[in-house]
Structure 1
Amino acid sequence: MKRIFTSFLLSASICSAALAQNIQNNPGSNHGNKFEQLGTILSTPNEQRTASGAPGAKYWQQRADYNIKCELDEKNLKLTGSETITYYNNSPDPLTYIWLQLDENEHSSINNSGYQSSSGMPRATTTQNVDRNAARNGDADNGLGDVITRLTDATGKKLSYTINKTMMRIDLPAPLKPGAQFVFNVDWNYKITDRMTVGGRGGYEFFPEDGNYLFTMTQWYPRLCVYSDFQGWQNHQFTGRGEFALTFGNFHVQMTVPADHVVGATGECINYSAVLSPAKLARYTKAKTSATPVEIVTLAEAKAAEKAPATAKKTWVFQANNVRDFAWGSSRKFVWDAMGVKVGGHNTMCMSYYGKEAYNLYSKYSTRLVAHTIKTYSDFSIPYPYPVAQSVEASNGMEYPMICFNYGRTEKDGTYSESTKNGMIGVIIHEVGHNFFPMIVNSDERQWTWMDEGLNSFVEYLTEERWDNKFPSKKGAAYTIVDYMKLPKNELEPTMTNSENIVRFGPNAYSKPATALNILRETIMGRKLFDYAFKEYARRWAFKHPTPADLFRTMEDASGEDLDWFWRGWFYGTDPVDISLDSVKYAKADVDAKLPAMRQRGAAKVAPPAVNDFEDISKVRNRTDKNIRFETDLDTATHDFYWKYDRGMVKVDTAKFEAMVKAQPAPDAYVEPLNDADKAKYNSKYFYELNFTNKGGLVMPIIVEFTFKDGTKWVDRIPVQIWRLNEKTASKFYIHDKEVASIKLDPMRETADIDESNNYWGKMPEPSKFQLFKQKTGGPVRGQSSGINPMQVSASK
C-alpha cells in the first residue's frame, strides 16, 4: 500500500495522521482495491465545493487590485517600484494578518527559502559557480532580493510586518472583517540578476556582441498569497521550482524605461500614442485587421537601436483586468510584430517580440503559433477571454497572463536545425497555452504542479497535433512515457506529489499526467465523452481556484464514467502498465498445424527527418477526421525547409555534410485437441483462450489485435473492468470463423505498456525503436542548435 503524504491531500479538513494513507478496505486480497472508490482520500463535499465537482452555492475567493509604478535603471541594473494594493476579504473569516510573496528573495543569500539538496565536489566548474556557492555557504548578504523601504496603510501610517524568507506577513491594525477591504502601500527595490548565470525566471540577459540587455521582469513586485477555503493561506516558501498560487484582480502598471526600449506586458498598453512614433502606431493599427503578422518595429529599426542606445526615458502604461499576475519584457533589441485574430467573438492581438538572433524563426512562426494556440485551446476549453496574447524570445520558457517568454534562435547564417524549430514550436504552444491552465483555470501550482503543467502539456499535445500531422510531439502519446514508467520504484513518486519533492520533475509533472489524459481521451472514454467533460471542467472553474478533487469529480459527473480506478492508478500510484499475454489455448477440429517460429528482436549521416517513427493513434484519427484541418496545410507561409524535408520534397548533399562534420574539431503456444463430438459440431470454428497477467500492477483496458491467416485483422477492446474481480490475472475466450496467425496486445501502443516483448503470440512484428528520457545539455542559450544542420547543406535551400 502506497503512502499518500499529507501534502497530497485535497482538503485541509483531512490532513490528519489518521487519514494520511491511501486507505484500502481489503489490502491483502487480489481484488477490490484498484477499483475502490476515492471517497476515503478526496475532500468532503461542502457548500464551497460540491460532490459533482462544481463550485458550491457559497464558493468564495479573495481579490487584490494593484496600482504600480516602477522604473528600470539599465545602467545600474536595478528596479525600483511603489504600489498601492487594495485587498478584498470575500471570505467568511475575519483576518488579523495577510501574507505577501517576495519572490526575488529566491536569490538572496540570507532570505532564500532555505531548501537544500545533496551536493558534491565537481571535477570542474566555473568561477561564477564558485562565487555563487561561496555566497550561499556563508552568512554574508549578497545584496540580492527585495528591499522594502516603506509599508503604510492608506492614510500613511506605518504597518508592522515580518519577513520570513520569501514570504512577508503584514499585521493588520484591526481585523479585516468579511466583506471589507484593506488598502496599503509598499515601496521596494532590488538588484536585477543575470538570469543566464544566476538562473531563475526573471532578470536580464546581456549580449556582448552589441552591448545591450534583454529584461524579463517576472515575479518582480510584492504580491498577495492566496487565502482559500480548502487550505487557508498558501504561503509555502518559494524555492524556484514550485510555481505560484495567486489571487485575481485588476492591474494598472506604469513602467519607466529607456526611451528606445520596446515593452511588451500583461494587458493592453493604454498610451501607445505617447510612446510610439506615428509610423509605428500606424503599423500597429494595420496589424489589428491583418491576416498575417505586421512588423511594428522592423528588423532594421531594432538593429539601428542596438547601435545607439538612448539616454532619455519613456513611461509605458498598461491596464489588465481580472488577471492573477503581471509580467513584462523590455529591450531595445526587440523586433515586434502582430496580427489580430477573432476568438470568442472578439479581436485578440497576437504579438511577438524577438531579437535579430531569432529573426528567421520568430518572424515566420511565433505570432502564427500564438494565434493557432489560443484558437485551439479555445476549442478544447473556453473561448480565450483576453484582448492580447504575446510571445517573447528570451532563451527561456515561462508563462504569465497574456505574455510568455520562450526560446528559439538561429545560427549566425540564419539557418537552424529541425530540433531547434520543433523545440521552439513546442515551447511557444506550451507557454501560450498556460494562459488557460493555470492563468484562467487557476489551480495551485505550488501544491499540485501537474494541474498546471500536466493539464497544459496535454492540451499542448492536442494543439501540436493540429499544427502539423507530422509534428514529432515528445509527450502525450502513450508510448512516449514508457521509459519513465519502467524506472525502479525508488526513482518514482506519485503524480500527486508536492513539486519540491519530485525527483524526475519533467516526466512526473508534465509527461505522465499529459499521457494519462490522452489515454483517457483516446482509449478509455472516447473523444466525445472526454471533450465534453473536460470543457465542463474549464467552464466551471474559469477564474476560480480548483483542486484535483474538483477535476476528478467533474470528469466523472459530466461523462457518466466511474474513473476512480484511473485516478487512483495514474495519479496516486507509481505502478506501471505491463499486461502480459502469457498463453493462448488453441483448439480446432482436424487441425494439427505447428505455430510459426518467433523471430527475435533486432537493433537499427545526415539527421533524418524528425518525424516520429510510430504513427500514434491521435495522428491516425486526426487525419480521418473531416472536421480537422492542419494549420500547416492551411497556411503555406509555414512551409520551411524542414516541412518539405519531412515530406521528401528537398534533398541534402550528404557528401558535403560528411565533409563539414569531419572538418569540425514471447511464450510458445500450445494445442488442445477437441473430442469427436466437438469436431463434428465445430469443424469450421476456431477456438482461442487468451490468458493475461497484470505484471505492472496498474489496471488498464486490454486491447487485442488478431491477425488471421488470410491477412485480415480484428481488434477487441476489453474494458478495464475485466480486472475487477481479480487484479492479477484475467482470461478471455474467443470463437473465430478464421484461423489466427498471430495475436498482439496494444497494437497502437495506447496504454504505455512498459514491456512489449510479452505482448505477442505467433509471428513477431518487425523490431521498433523506443525513446529514452535524457536531460538536455549544452550552453546557457536555450533553443539554439549546435553543429551542422541539414538546412546548411541543402541542395534546394
Structure 2
Amino acid sequence: MKKLLLLLLSCITISALAQKKPSTSDREAPLPKYVSSKFAQLGQELPTPNVYRTGDGSPGPNYWQQKADYKIKATLDEAKNVITGSETITYYNNAPIPLRYLWIQLDQNRFAGDATAQKANPMKLTKSNGSVQRLFRWVSLTKDDYGYTISNVKDKSGKKLKYTINGTMMRLELPQPIKAKGGSFTFSLDWKNKIRERLKIGGRGGYEHFPKDGNNVYAIAQWFPRMCVYDDVNGWQNKQFLGRGEFALTFGDYEVALTVPADHIVGATGELQNAKKVLSSEQIKRWEKAKNAKNPVVIVTQKEAEAKEKTKSTQTKTWVFKAKNVRDFAFTSSRKLIWDAMGVNVGGKNVWAMSYYPKEANPLWGNYSTHIVAHTLKVYSKYTFDYPYPVAISVEASNGMEYPMICFNYGRPNAQGVTSARMRNGMFGVIIHEVGHNFFPMIVNSDERQWTWMDEGLNSFVQTLAEREIQSLSWAPDVYKKNGFPEGSRNPKNIIRYMRIDPKKMVPIMSNSESIPYFGPNAYSKPATALNILRNTIMGPELFDYAFREYSQKWMFKHPQPADFFRTMEDASGVDLDWFWRGWFYSTEPCDISLEGVKLFQVESDKNKTVASKMVFKPTFYTQDQIKNITAIVKRRGLTLNKGDKEAISPNSFFYQLDFKNKGGLLMPIIVKMQYKDGSQQNVKIPAEIWKKDPVKVSKVLMTKKEVVKFVVDPNGETADIDTKNNTFPRAEMSKSGFKKMKEKKGSQE
C-alpha cells in the first residue's frame, strides 16, 4: 500500500499542485553550486587510510606504538614542600624508523616565572576577587622558584648525555640512534621541584593547606619528567604545555617508591606492594575485609587521622607501588586522610573501589564516594569494555583531575556539616567524570594536547549515561530516587545558550586545545550533546551502542585519532554520518528549523465543504473528477486499489504540506508533533537526509485520519533548536509584556 500511496500522492501533486521552480528571489541567498555540499563525504578532511590506520577505523596490520617503563624513587619533604626524585626510563622504539633523539615532558616548567604559559597569559586588572587572585598567582610564579631542576642525565653505563631544555620540553640527544622495530634505550636523571599551594597558585597538582590543624593534603600530578608520544600521525607530539591542552602520553610499566612522613597515608596509581610495612596490623585486617565487601569498609578511620593531625611524625616510611600498562602515575599523601574501600565485580573480576579524604569531607564522602566509584566502573564497562585495572581511587582534594587508577575530586559540607544540593550534585558528577576518565583517555589513549574533545567530550557523554542510572541505586539519596539526577549541560536543551552565540565568535570542535575561546562548552558539553543526539535521535541506542563499544574496544591501550572514531562509528553501524560530523564537529552553525507554513488538502465532498470554514487550516480540495483520473492512471499501470488505498484518497483523509526553513544552517532531523482536534497527539520523525537536495527550504506531506489543530517542531527539545518561537504552527501569540498590559489598562481608564 505504501508504494501505491506514494504514486497516488505524486500523481495528485503533478495534476493539481504543479508549481514553478523557486527562483533565486524566493530565497534569502542563492543556493551553493552543489546544494548537497553539507552531505558531501568528509574526504580530504580525513587522512588517507593506510597500513597503520584503516578505512573502517581500526588499527592497521602494521600499527605500532612506543613503550616507556619507569623506575622512580622520590621523597616528599613536607617542611620545604619539595619533591626530590630520581628515575630510570627504558624507552622501546617500535617505529619503522630509527630515532636519533627523544623528547621528554617537563610539565612543572609551565610554572616557572619566565615560562611561555606565563608570558602569553592575557590578564586585565579589575577590583574583582578573580582579578586579584590571578594577579597574586602571577606574582607568586615570577617571584618563587617553581619548575624542574634537572641533573645527572646519563645512560645506563653512567655516561653523561647531552640534553636541551625548551620550556616544558626536553630533547635528549642519543649517542647513537635507537634501532627501528624493537630497539631500546635506558637512561636516568635526577630532579626536584617545588610543590605549589594549588588553591592559591593554581594548576592540577599541588597541596592544600588546612590552617586549623596545620597540615597539608598533597595531590601530586605531572610531578616527574615523562616521555612524549611518538606516533605514525605526528612524529613527536612535543607541543609546549600552556596549561589547557592536557597530555599525550606513552604506555608503560611503573615501579615507584615514595618516601613520605611516617604518619602519612598514601594512595597512588597501581597496587601497593608493601602494605604490611606501612599499615598497622588492624588496618591490614580491615584492608583484607574490604576486598570482598559489598559496602565500603573504613581502613583508616577518622579517629586515627585526627590523632595524627595533632602529633606529626618526624620519621619517614617508603610506600612502593607497581602499575602495568599505564600512561601516567599520580599520588596523594597526608596524615589527614581517611581511607575506605570495597570490592566491585567487573566482568567477573574483583576490582578495588577506594576513596581517600580528610575529615572536612565527611559525612558526604564516607557515605557516597566509594559507592560512586563502583557505580561508574560498572556503567562505563557496560558501554565500553570491562575495566582492566585492579583499582580505581577517588581522592577529595578540592579539585577535578584524572590519572590512571586515581583521580582528584571536590565536594565538602559546610562548617556545620550540611551539604547543599548543588555541592552534592557537583560531587557526584565530578567523581563519575574523573573516574570515567580511566576509560577516556587513560585506556583509549587519545592525544589531549591536540584534541580535548576526544577525551572530555566522549567521557562527558558516558558520564550522562551513568548519572541517569543513579536513580535506581539502593544507596542513592532519596531526592535522586524520586526525581532522578539533575540533567547537566550535555542535555540538548541546556546547550542552547552556547549555541546561540554568534558563530563567528566560536571555533569548531575540531580545534586545537589551546585555541578554543569557550573551552568548557566547546570541549565538553557540545561534543557530549552531539553524541547524545546521535544516540537518541539519529541512530537509536542499539546501533549507537554497538558502534561505540566497537570503537572503545578497538582502541583500548592504543592511540586513536578523530578519523578513527568517525570511521568506526559509521562502519560498525551502517549509517552515513559524514553530514553529522561536518555539521557538529567541523562547523559552528546552530540548529534553527522554522516551520514556515502549513497547507491542508482534502478530497472534495459535501460534508467536508460545510465544516471547512471551522478548520484551523483551510483546505484546498481535490475534485472527484481528479480522483477518477488518478484511479484510471493506476489501473493502466496494472495496479489495483486496495482498501487502504481507497481510504487514503477518501474525503476522510487529511493531507498536510509542511514547509520548513533551515535558518541556523546545521542539518538535523525534523521531529514534528501533531496535536489532533480530539486531544490526542502523534510524533513523526523526518530524517536529516530530507535536506540533501536543498539545505535551505524543504516541504513534507503528512497524511492523517484526524484533523490536526497544531504542529510543533522538536517538541521534546531533542535537537538543540535555538529558536522555539518559530517551531509551532499556527504561530503562538506572543504574550504581552507587563508594561504593555499596564499601558493598555491605563488607556481604557482614560
TM-score, reference length from structure 2: 0.86
* Residue among 79, 83, 86 paired with 1:79: 83
Contact 1:152 1:184 in 2 (8 A): yes
Three-state SS of the structure 1 residue aligned to 2:37 is coil
1:121 Cα deviation from its structure 2 partner: 2.5
Partner amino acid, structure 2, of 1:241: R
Three-state SS of the structure 2 residue aligned to 1:592 is helix
1:710 Cα deviation from its structure 2 partner: 1.0
Contact 1:552 1:567 in 2 (8 A): yes
Q: Evaluate the alpha carbon distance shift between residue 258 and residue 559 of structure 1 in structure 2; reply closer, same or farther with a 3 A threshold.
A: same
Contact 1:461 1:475 in 2 (8 A): no
Deviation per residue, 1:10-38 (Å, 9 max, x gap): xxxxxxxxxxxxxxxx9833612110001
Q: Evaluate the alpha carbon distance shift between residue 709 and residue 301 of structure 1 in structure 2; reply closer, same or farther with a 3 A threshold.
A: same
Structure of higher CA gyration radius: 2
1:142 Cα deviation from its structure 2 partner: 3.2
Q: Within 5 A, what are the aligned runs for 1:587-666?
A: 587-588=601-602, 589-590=608-609, 591-594=611-614
Q: Match for residue 62 of structure 1?
A: 66
Deviation per residue, 1:118-168 (Å, 9 max, x gap): 3322235687654543466xxx67311010021000011110000000000
1:764 Cα deviation from its structure 2 partner: 4.6
* Residue among 695, 700, 703 paired with 1:735: 703
Partner amino acid, structure 2, of 1:93: I
Q: Match for residue 690 of structure 1?
A: 658
Q: Evaluate the alpha carbon distance shift between residue 112 and residue 285 of structure 1 in structure 2; reply closer, same or farther with a 3 A threshold.
A: farther
Deviation per residue, 1:478-514 (Å, 9 max, x gap): 1111111111123311000001110110100000000
Contact 1:344 1:385 in 2 (8 A): no
| Distance in 2 (alpha carbons) for counterparts of 1:558 and 1:508 | 26
Q: Match for residue 90 of structure 1?
A: 94
* Residue among 425, 430, 433 paired with 1:430: 433
Q: Match for residue 389 of structure 2?
A: 386
| Distance in 2 (alpha carbons) for counterparts of 1:699 and 1:490 | 18
Structure 1 window deviating more from structure 2 (737-746 vs 105-114): it is 105-114
Q: Match for residue 34 of structure 1?
A: 38
Deviation per residue, 1:493-549 (Å, 9 max, x gap): 100000111011010000000010111110111111110000000110000000000
1:113 Cα deviation from its structure 2 partner: 3.9
Contact 1:595 1:762 in 2 (8 A): no
Q: Evaluate the alpha carbon distance shift between residue 701 and residue 149 of structure 1 in structure 2; reply closer, same or farther with a 3 A threshold.
A: same
1:593 Cα deviation from its structure 2 partner: 3.8
Matched, 1:228 2:248: no
Deviation per residue, 1:249-303 (Å, 9 max, x gap): 0000000001111100000001001000000010000000110000001111111
* Residue among 519, 527, 535 paired with 1:521: 535
* Residue among 217, 228, 232 paired with 1:214: 217
| Distance in 2 (alpha carbons) for counterparts of 1:180 and 1:166 | 26
Partner amino acid, structure 2, of 1:73: D
* Residue among 545, 556, 577 paired with 1:563: 577
* Residue among 274, 278, 283 paired with 2:281: 278
Aligned-pair identity in percent equals 55
Q: Match for residue 374 of structure 1?
A: 377
Matched, 1:546 2:560: yes
Contact 2:106 2:168 in 1 (8 A): yes
> Is the helix fraction higher in 1 or 2?
2
1:315 Cα deviation from its structure 2 partner: 0.4
| Distance in 2 (alpha carbons) for counterparts of 1:595 and 1:87 | 78
Q: Evaluate the alpha carbon distance shift between residue 175 and residue 27 of structure 1 in structure 2; reply closer, same or farther with a 3 A threshold.
A: farther
Two-structure CA RMSD over aligned residues (Å): 1.9
Matched, 1:709 2:729: no
1:41 Cα deviation from its structure 2 partner: 0.9
Partner amino acid, structure 1, of 2:147: G
Matched, 1:753 2:721: yes
| Distance in 2 (alpha carbons) for counterparts of 1:493 and 1:152 | 44
Q: Evaluate the alpha carbon distance shift between residue 764 and residue 422 of structure 1 in structure 2; reply closer, same or farther with a 3 A threshold.
A: same
| Distance in 1 (alpha carbons) for counterparts of 2:526 and 2:565 | 16
Q: Match for residue 312 of structure 2?
A: 309
Q: Evaluate the alpha carbon distance shift between residue 305 and residue 753 of structure 1 in structure 2; reply closer, same or farther with a 3 A threshold.
A: same
| Distance in 1 (alpha carbons) for counterparts of 2:556 and 2:727 | 43
Segments of structure 1 that go 5 or more residues without pairing to the other structure are 1-25, 597-668, 768-797
Q: Evaluate the alpha carbon distance shift between residue 339 and residue 89 of structure 1 in structure 2; reply closer, same or farther with a 3 A threshold.
A: same
| Distance in 1 (alpha carbons) for counterparts of 2:726 and 2:133 | 51
1:304 Cα deviation from its structure 2 partner: 1.2
Three-state SS of the structure 2 residue aligned to 1:499 is coil
* Residue among 478, 491, 507 paired with 1:477: 491
| Distance in 2 (alpha carbons) for counterparts of 1:42 and 1:298 | 54
Q: Evaluate the alpha carbon distance shift between residue 115 and residue 41 of structure 1 in structure 2; reply closer, same or farther with a 3 A threshold.
A: farther
Q: Evaluate the alpha carbon distance shift between residue 706 and residue 299 of structure 1 in structure 2; reply closer, same or farther with a 3 A threshold.
A: same
* Residue among 161, 164, 170 paired with 1:162: 164
Partner amino acid, structure 2, of 1:211: G
Contact 2:217 2:334 in 1 (8 A): yes
Three-state SS of the structure 2 residue aligned to 1:34 is helix
Matched, 1:268 2:271: yes
| Distance in 2 (alpha carbons) for counterparts of 1:325 and 1:725 | 50
Matched, 1:583 2:590: no
Q: Evaluate the alpha carbon distance shift between residue 549 and residue 128 of structure 1 in structure 2; reply closer, same or farther with a 3 A threshold.
A: closer
Deviation per residue, 1:562-609 (Å, 9 max, x gap): 10000000000001011110000023431334566xxxxxxxxxxxxx
| Distance in 2 (alpha carbons) for counterparts of 1:220 and 1:165 | 15
Deviation per residue, 1:678-701 (Å, 9 max, x gap): 799642122210000011101111
Three-state SS of the structure 1 residue aligned to 2:469 is helix
| Distance in 2 (alpha carbons) for counterparts of 1:548 and 1:594 | 56
| Distance in 1 (alpha carbons) for counterparts of 2:444 and 2:387 | 12
Q: Match for residue 548 of structure 2?
A: 534
Q: Within 5 A, what are the aligned runs for 1:13-412?
A: 28-29=32-33, 31-113=35-117, 116-123=120-127, 129-134=134-139, 142-178=144-180, 179-412=182-415
Q: Match for residue 496 of structure 1?
A: 510
| Distance in 2 (alpha carbons) for counterparts of 1:572 and 1:128 | 36
Deviation per residue, 1:309-336 (Å, 9 max, x gap): 1111100000000000000001111110
Three-state SS of the structure 2 residue aligned to 1:522 is helix
Q: Match for residue 486 of structure 1?
A: 500
Q: Evaluate the alpha carbon distance shift between residue 766 and residue 325 of structure 1 in structure 2; reply closer, same or farther with a 3 A threshold.
A: farther
Contact 1:584 1:670 in 2 (8 A): no
| Distance in 1 (alpha carbons) for counterparts of 2:544 and 2:133 | 50
Contact 1:111 1:164 in 2 (8 A): no
| Distance in 2 (alpha carbons) for counterparts of 1:311 and 1:73 | 11
Contact 1:396 1:407 in 2 (8 A): yes
Partner amino acid, structure 2, of 1:759: N
Partner amino acid, structure 2, of 1:755: D
Q: Match for residue 25 of structure 2?
A: none
| Distance in 2 (alpha carbons) for counterparts of 1:73 and 1:199 | 20
Q: Evaluate the alpha carbon distance shift between residue 131 and residue 748 of structure 1 in structure 2; reply closer, same or farther with a 3 A threshold.
A: closer
Contact 2:137 2:202 in 1 (8 A): no
Deviation per residue, 1:202-233 (Å, 9 max, x gap): 11110001110000110000000000000100
Three-state SS of the structure 1 residue aligned to 2:466 is helix
| Distance in 2 (alpha carbons) for counterparts of 1:385 and 1:129 | 40
How many residue pairs align between the two structures?
667
Three-state SS of the structure 2 residue aligned to 1:367 is helix
Q: Evaluate the alpha carbon distance shift between residue 45 and residue 315 of structure 1 in structure 2; reply closer, same or farther with a 3 A threshold.
A: same
Contact 1:382 1:538 in 2 (8 A): yes
Structure 1 window deviating more from structure 2 (240-249 vs 409-418): it is 409-418
TM-score, reference length from structure 1: 0.81
Deviation per residue, 1:448-479 (Å, 9 max, x gap): 00001000000000010111261112132211
Matched, 1:414 2:417: yes
| Distance in 1 (alpha carbons) for counterparts of 2:314 and 2:517 | 47
| Distance in 2 (alpha carbons) for counterparts of 1:528 and 1:510 | 24
1:188 Cα deviation from its structure 2 partner: 0.1
Contact 2:110 2:116 in 1 (8 A): yes
Contact 1:288 1:349 in 2 (8 A): yes
Partner amino acid, structure 1, of 2:221: T
| Distance in 2 (alpha carbons) for counterparts of 1:58 and 1:507 | 37
